[in-house]
Amino acid sequence: MSNTSHIDLAAEILRLKKERNAVILAHNYQIEEIQRVADHVGDSLGLSQKAAETDADVIVFCGVHFMGETAKILNPGKTVVIPDMDAGCSLSDSCPAEKLEAFLKEHAEKNYHVIAYINCSAGVKALADVICTSGNAVKIVEAAPKDRPILFVPDQNLGAWVTEQSGRPMDLWQGSCYVHMEYTRDSISRAKQEHPDALVVAHPECPQAVRLLADEVCSTEKMVTFCRNSPAKAFVIVTEEGMLHRLRREIPDKIFIPGPTDTCACAECRYMKRNTMEKLYLCLRDLKPEILLEEGLRAKAEKSVRRMLELSR
């Protein structure tokens, strides 16, 4: 990697962004410095909507690989780059497209309506009828045809939560996010005892034992609205620690406490944290690593992503 120690990375990123007519999209789990130089910071749904409507020539997606891929699915004519090609996702990895394809073949008689959480590869998106995010999953499931069984992939925890909310039973792929699986009933019970006046706000990727202890279960974007509108002054935030930067920046008069795990004071996603200011600068400078997709696969995946965007309006 080049030596960039003499460079004012934030200033150079902003200069290159203008020069390249680029837009920087950053997920809520990114480090604070990246959130500060981004044009939009948000959840998977909000950032997919921004990717769908941008007129920039270059999209720089600071998140993980499937997020950049989703931006490319929606923008085949644009250059889409991500700071680190190895920023993967345990949830996406838990459902390889070949395994899903084989499962659907084996159970062809079921004629499943496949709903795929956006945390999956383009190959899985191409096999799905519709995509959802944690911000619109209940709505997408409620809009599903009533005469076909639903297969929900890949997150069993989000799927179980959506069934609790909607009353719609679904067959669940047994995948999970390793970050949200680190929270336990004990670790969150302890946090509640230590901060009795704080409300517990948890992501639906958490296991049920943790969700049951929460005052609110919602996507990262809805966490911002919930905490802003709540009369409470303090919140235990049970999701990846990057979320705390956004909350503290936008709601400076309230207190945000990271949800602890059994071994750590907070949970970090090792994939999200692969992105650094230096890698962001280099990817804007060199326009790589670039996301490229085979056109047939992209077009199939686009159908299910567009269906989600239409249903989310």
Q: With CB under 6 A as the rule, give the number of residues binding ligand 13P.
A: 13
Smallest CA-to-CA distance from 35 within 45, 43, 27 is with: 27
Give Cα 70 to chain centroid, integer Å. 11
Rank residues 16 and 72 by Cβ distance to ligand 13P and give the closer one.
72
Amino acid at 198: A
Distance CA 229, CA 242 (A): 21
- Per-residue interface string for the shown chain with ligand SF4, residues 75-114, x marking contact by CB under 6 A: --------------xxx-----------------------
Distance CA 13, CA 41 (A): 16
Looking at residues 44 to 63 of the shown chain, list those that interact with ligand 13P (rule: CB under 6 A): 44-45
Say if residue 289 is preceded by a cis peptide, omega within 30 of 0.
yes
Question: Binder to ligand SF4 among 9, 13, 269, 283 (CB under 6 A)?
Answer: 269
Distance CA 264, CA 65 (A): 26
Distance CA 199, CA 233 (A): 9
CB 104 within 8 A of CB 127: yes
Paired residues of 171 in beta bridges: 151
Confirm or reject binding of residue 177 to ligand SF4 (CB under 6 A): yes
Rank residues 29 and 281 by Cβ distance to ligand SF4 and give the closer one.
29
Question: Binder to ligand 13P among 30, 54, 119, 304 (CB under 6 A)?
Answer: 119
Rank residues 91 and 217 by Cβ distance to ligand SF4 and give the closer one.
91
| Residue 271 touches which of ligand 13P, ligand SF4, none (Cβ within 5-8 Å per kind) | ligand SF4
Burial of 260 (0-12, 13-18, 19+ CB in 10 A): buried
Does an H or E element contain 150, and which? Answer: strand 150-153
Question: Binder to ligand 13P among 35, 94, 156, 220 (CB under 6 A)?
Answer: 220
Backbone angles phi, psi at 243, to 5 degrees: -60, -30
Confirm or reject binding of residue 179 to ligand SF4 (CB under 6 A): yes
**Residues near 167 by beta carbon (within 8 Å), at least 6 away in sequence:** none
Question: Binder to ligand 13P among 30, 70, 133, 276 (CB under 6 A)?
Answer: 133
Piece in contact with ligand 13P (CB under 6 A), picked from 39-47, 247-255, 257-265, 301-309: 39-47
Q: With CB under 6 A as the rule, give the number of residues binding ligand SF4.
A: 12
What is the nearest approach in angstroms of ligand 13P to the Cβ of residue 66?
8
| Residue 94 touches which of ligand SF4, ligand 13P, none (Cβ within 5-8 Å per kind) | none
Which residues contribute to the site for ligand SF4 (CB under 6 A)?
64, 89-91, 119, 177-179, 240, 269, 271-272
Which residues contribute to the site for ligand 13P (CB under 6 A)?
28, 43-45, 119, 133-135, 177, 203, 205, 219-220
